[in-house]
Structure 1
Amino acid sequence: MSLFNAFELSVWVTSVCGVLVAAWLVWRAHRKADLRALAGFAVMMALWCFGHLALFHNLQTLGMVLLLANPLMPTFFLHFALLFVNEGSAKGPWLSAIANHIGWVYLTSIMIVLYSIWVGAGDTVALMDGRPFFVFNELGAINLGYTVLLGVLGHVVLIVGWRQHSGNKKRSILAMFGVAAWGLLLATSFVFPSFGINVFPYPMLLLPSYLLLLVYGVVRYQILAVNRFANRALLALAMMLVVLCVIAVLGAFSGRIGLQALNGVPIWQLWLYSLIVLLIAAMVYPWVRRFSERLVFPGAVLNEQILESWNRELNKADSWEGLIAQGEQLLTQHLRQPIRIAFSGNKTSEALHLTLQKEPSGWFVQPHHTEDLSPGMRLTLDVFSSLFATRCEALERSLALAEAERKRLDEQHLVELGSLSAAMAHELRNPLNIISMASYNSPADTRRHIQEQLARADRLVSDMLVYSGKLTLQLQTVSLKPLLGSVLSVLNTEQVLMTVQVAEGLQLQADPHRLQQVFINLIDNALAYVRNQSDGSICIEAHYEGQDLVCRIHNNGPALDPSIEQEDLFRPFVSKRSGGSGLGLAIVRRIVDAHQGKIEHREDLGWPVSFECRFPCQQNSQL
């Protein structure tokens, strides 16, 4: 292949690429004016290349018109640069002014083109095999100078944008400057003949790369699909270069290794044949791959669309139950047989199933009883298991974040409730004190009744302050039996049989004031139910149990309403006993939780009502 033929082929490829790139940009523009301006630049570059081809084939007039329209190419580029840079919040006043008057720039460019055609600003010289090649004459200095000026101005606009923007926009501008340097190297050889330098324009053989690299640098961060195409194109180019190198080496040594027939074939024909074979192989590769996959893994139908569909459906689940149900449905539909998914340790009656297991390294999904499955179905299960494990990790993080946010909102609510309760306590106690003083001269029975109700109201206010306020602990070593003795001394235990089964020496790290409040609330609550019984009895027992100190308070009062759940029992205002505030057990729960303990109601200890408190003997050092 002669140099002229290589040059003509390069120009043809550039012209076709310009038209295809322009059509693709218009298709993907979606109201983006900058991409439409870039499409105009691609069209003008295609026409400029077609002008060279017209001269090669003796279409003198058409070729001169297209080549002298050269200023329109940087005009479109300047328009694109203004729109690309002057987008978003980073707008410059002088850039906006130029963008608003870009029509005048187009008009000026058209006038320069018409003037150049009218005065005949271009000539031809015989550069390659006697074929004509375009050069500017003396009258073409205006055309050439104006073209260079617009190109420089377009890149100045990009420099301003590079300083104003950040992130992907800045990276795109930097990529455009790299491509601009490459384009300058290629274009320099075009103007050599205009200055009397009779050198073959070797760089123009690589002209197709300029337009493709420029468009890729612009849209790679805007249209992500182009990156997949670029990856495939780069792979194809690398394979082509490898083939060219192998053929070159083979051609150089074929005579020495006895391949005389191959040695007689021109190297360019070997390259051409090899590239054609490579192109055919690339075209049939997807079908061959699918055929081999179905041959090796019969029954497996996996592709990117299916994987994306699985991932999309699994991402909709916001709970473990929903995720498992969605996974079972997807697998059942794909494999056409029932598949169950269960956590490790949960028994399932299904022979074929998947188990979920949390390990230190992350989630692990293991298929079971796959011996009778085809290789394709096993492959499907393995791929789905990997995808499902990834989704389990994402769901776990999502639920943890949601729980942390819920706790934060709960703490914020308690702070607000504490402030409100403190304000209410202040506002309520003032009128209560006034009522108390006003009842001083009332009859004895009336005064006693008022005082009882006032005491009840004061207790309710105090309980609200304790429950809603910030709970801080002052930890110290507490002897349990003396503490219980002080609690019983302040409570009215008449007509009730009190039994204390607490050994001497039982101790724990706790806040004595808060712990005293726990026992007062629990014992007072029991007294309220057994005081009016003839055989009322309360038993307090405590002992060590492993690493815990267990304290139980029993009473033989009426059993609790079976409709009240264990968890609801410790919620505020669940209690129905006469005179109660409904906050006693809720306060106990808060204090026990603050000590890293646990409280629960039990019915299996031989008493109608039993409350069990467990306190760890070794407290957390952060308390």
Structure 2
Amino acid sequence: MDLAMLFETMLGLTSLSALWTGLWLWWHARFQPVLKPLAGFCAMMAVWCGGHLALQHDLLLPGKALILANPLMPAFFLQFALAYVTAQPQQPQLRWIEWLRQYQSWFLLASVLVVLLSWSQPSARVQALYGMPVFFLFDGFGWFNLAYTVLLGMLAHWVLWRGRHAYHGNKHHSVVAISMTAGLGLLLATSFVFPSLGLNWYPYPMLVLPLYLVLLVYSVVRYQMLAVNAFASRALVYLVMGLLLLLLMALMSSLFGQFGMPALAAVPGWQLWLYSSLLLLLAAAAYRPASRLAERLIFPGVQLSEAMVSRWQQQLSLAADWQQLAEQSALLIRQPLKQPVQICLLQGAELLAQSAEVSALKLMVIATDSDDQSGKHWQFSIPGEQGLTPTLKLTAEVFGSLLVSSCGRLQSALALAEAQKQQLAQQHLVELGALAASMAHELRNPLNIISMASAAVDAELRGHIQTQLKRADRLIADMLVYAGRLQLQPTLFPLQPLVQSLLLQAPDGVRTELAMPADLQLYADPYRIQQVLQNLFDNAFAFLRNQPGACLRVEASTSDTEVQIRVLNNGPALDPALLDGQLFRPFVSKRAGGSGLGLAIVARIILAHQGRIQHDTDPDWPVCFTLYLPVVSGEIR
């Protein structure tokens, strides 16, 4: 084959492959828009190669026009580079790429303008070269066309090369591969300029253009389409086998004569290679049927199919609880294994469910705690698998894997359902709180009427009525505080004066002690903190009243992260039953006349301040409540 025919063949192959690749990319651009400008690049490469072919068939004017349209190639490639690199940028120093992206339509418009000017001006000539009747040479305005094309192509490659810094992992590798492949293509394509520069070199690099196009597309989509990787893997295997076959045929043809087989030695090498390639293709076509036959011979009996596995997945996903999953699993696997199977689902040593039918063959799925704290790890075992044939054993293992996945999904679904149930319960409590607040407001009106009506009765009865009205008013006030929404208004205030004013309300016979720094300041809502201390003091006074040696002590100290306030008294110790998580719940008070909401309100206010309260054990004080309030932005002194 002479050089002119080789040139025409390779460019024809490049044009056809570029056209097919462009259509394929355009079809997939429905799901990945970044491929659309790459499809335009492939189409323009097909047009460019078609221009060279037109010149070889004396179509001079169309050939020149198609070749002079080459600025559109880098214009489309620049659009692709900008779309591919700026999809998910990670570095702000590449903002210039985003600026180029905003003006990318202007580059395309400028390319169209250069093409139109090239068509209207003397830009190219042809001459006989390398045994070809005509070969394209730049002339006149064509040099500007060439310079613009090269500069635009370099800009596109610079965008890709610089944009690689914005990504890590697969995307980074993909950008590097595209940059290197595209740079190779730029060098291959520009080899046709040699004659225009007076270099009498045959453009051998242009003969490799079909391979360049394949490498470019593969470097773009290899990390995005699994089908492309599978196809490339098979193609590489076939290519390696074909090369090995070619070497083998060359070796055999040289040895045929030495082994007394001159007839075979006289057969042309290309015929041997062609016959061997046909045998290779036939062997590749027969591989799948032969492998299926081998599977049936080695694994006789029930054959797994995609439809069977899909049906298993669908049926197992319908189970709403553990028992239903066990029963459904036993029903599904019974027929393929040709015997009854008992399904046992366990969580550690706890049996979650098992199928009703008792069988010697069991399939057990056990959940254990995962080491990486990702939840439960499910695994299956078949204690009686020794009696199964290889096919049935494979079937049981596949079904067990599906059952393991179903157990994980069911566990997640049940956990989600429980979370939704708790959310509904929480919402119900919120509604009850709103109802309680509304009722508390409504109760104040009849209480006021009763208070006014009691003015007409005798003094003793009026005293009893007023006492109960005050108790009811206190209960209503506590309900409003507990059920209402806490809105804090924090400020910086000295703590000691507030505590001293509350301790002045101590009843006769109760001694008070205060131990805290005089300059201690607290950043919190002073009204809410007063409520907390008032409730704690009232509870203490109720038990200390009329008790010999009664004492209430308040201590406070600070650290780098929190303020600690201790309220202690030497009254009777709390009931141990209340200390087991019940102390700060509403309506568990044992104090006569109490509303049962005092400590619950205290805990709610402290929690709203991002603090905590607890009852501590102190050898010198039977009752000790400790408040922990956080230091906010270093405001507490």
**1:211 CA drift (Å):** 1.8
Aligned residue type for 2:105: G
Write the distance in 2 (CA, Å) between the matches of 1:137 and 1:293: 67
- What are the residue-to-residue correspondences of 1:125-136 with 2, within 5 Å? 125-136=127-138
Partners of 1:183 and 1:313 lie apart in 2 by 53
Code of the aligned partner of 1:365? S
Q: Is the 8 A contact 2:4 2:132 kept in 1?
A: no
Give the 5 Å matches for 1:133-152: 133-152=135-154
- 1:352/1:370 contact within 8 Å kept: no
TM superposition shift of 1:324: 5.1
Aligned to 2:108: 106
For the residues of structure 1 that align with 2:193 and 2:367, how far apart are their CA atoms? 68
Show the counterpart of 2:358: 349
SS of the residue 1:134 aligns to: strand
Give the Cα separation in 2 of the matches to 1:241 and 1:293. 30
Q: Distance in 2 between matches of 1:299 and 1:128?
A: 67
Contact map agreement 1:356 1:366 (CA 8 A) in 2: no
Alignment size in residue pairs: 439
Letter in 2 for 1:431: D
- 1:361-394 Cα deviation digits (max 9, x unpaired): 9956337467586x64444335445x459759x9
Equivalent in the alignment of 2:381: 365
Output the amino acid matched with 1:350. Answer: S
CA 1:202 to 1:370, structure 2 compared with 1: closer, same or farther past 3 Å? farther
Pairing of 1:255-294 with structure 2 (within 5 A): 255-294=257-296
CA distance in 2, matches of 1:222, 1:69: 31
**Corresponding residue number in structure 1 for 2:234:** 232
Distance, in Å, in 2 between the alignment partners of 1:70 and 1:315 is 57
Matched, 1:381 2:396: yes
CA 365–86 in structure 1, closer or farther in 2 if over 3 Å, else same: same
Relative to 1, partners in 2 of residues 1:67 and 1:271: Cα closer, same or farther, differing over 3 Å?
farther
Match status 1:171 vs 2:180: no
CA change 1:199–1:458 in 2 (3 A) is same
The code of the aligned residue for 2:260 comes to: G
RMSD of the TM alignment (CA)? 4.7
Give, in whole Å, the separation in 2 of the partners of 1:312 and 1:194. 68
Identical positions, percent: 40
- For the structure 1 residues 68 and 84, does the alpha-carbon distance in structure 2 shift closer, same or farther, using more than 3 Å as the test? same
* SS state at 2:125 partner: strand
Give the 3-state SS of the residue equivalent to 1:459 in structure 2. Answer: coil
Q: What's the CA shift for 1:167? A: 3.4
Q: Deviations over 1:232-252 (max 9, x none)?
A: 222222222222222232233
Rounded to whole Å, the distance in 2 between the matches of 1:303 and 1:206 is 44
Label 1:14 to 1:93 Cα distance change in 2 as closer, same or farther (>3 A): same
User: Are 1:121 and 2:123 an aligned pair?
Assistant: yes
Q: Extract unaligned runs of 5+ from structure 1.
A: 410-419, 441-454, 470-572, 574-580, 582-623
1:36 maps onto 2:151 in alignment: no
Partners of 2:18 and 2:43 within 8 A in 1? yes
CA distance in 1, matches of 2:81, 2:57: 35
| Equivalent residue number for residue 80 of structure 1 | 80
Return the offset for 1:72: 0.7
Q: 2:574 corresponds to which residue?
A: 459
Equivalent position to 2:539, from 432, 455, 462? 432
Letter in 1 for 2:574: R
Taking structure 2 as the reference length, what is the TM-score of the superposition?
Answer: 0.57
Are residue 214 (structure 1) and residue 216 (structure 2) matched? yes
Letter in 1 for 2:15: S
Deviations 1:446-480 (A, max 9, x none): xxxxxxxxx999635x64445479xxxxxxxxxxx
Distance 2:359 2:546 in 1: 76
The structure-2 alpha-carbon separation of the partners of 1:229 and 1:307, relative to structure 1 and needing over 3 Å to count, comes to farther
Indicate whether 1:25 and 2:140 are aligned.
Answer: no
- Give the unaligned 5+ runs of structure 2: 372-376, 423-481, 483-528, 548-569, 589-595, 597-637
Name the residue aligned to 2:64: 64
Distance in 1 between residues matched to 2:362 and 2:543, nearest whole Å: 72
C-alpha distance in structure 2 between counterparts of 1:333 and 1:37, whole Å: 54
Other-structure match for 1:161: 163
Mean Cα deviation higher: 185-194 or 308-317:
308-317
Separation (CA, whole Å) in 1 of partners of 2:271 and 2:191: 28
Q: State how far apart, in whole Å, the 1-side matches of 2:309 and 2:125 are.
A: 60
CA distance change for structure 1 residues 130 and 20 in 2, over 3 Å: closer, same or farther? Answer: closer
Question: Distance in 2 between the 1:277 and 1:7 partners?
Answer: 30
Q: Provide the C-alpha distance between the structure 2 equivalents of 1:121 and 1:242, rounded to a whole number of angstroms.
A: 48
In 1: Cα distance, 2:337 partner to 2:207 partner: 54
Offset at 1:275?
3.2
Q: 1:42 to 1:324 in 2, by over 3 A?
A: farther
Among 172, 190, 194, the residue aligned to 2:192:
190
Contact 2:543 2:572 in 1 (8 A): no
- Call closer, same or farther: CA 1:47–1:391 in 2, change over 3 Å: same
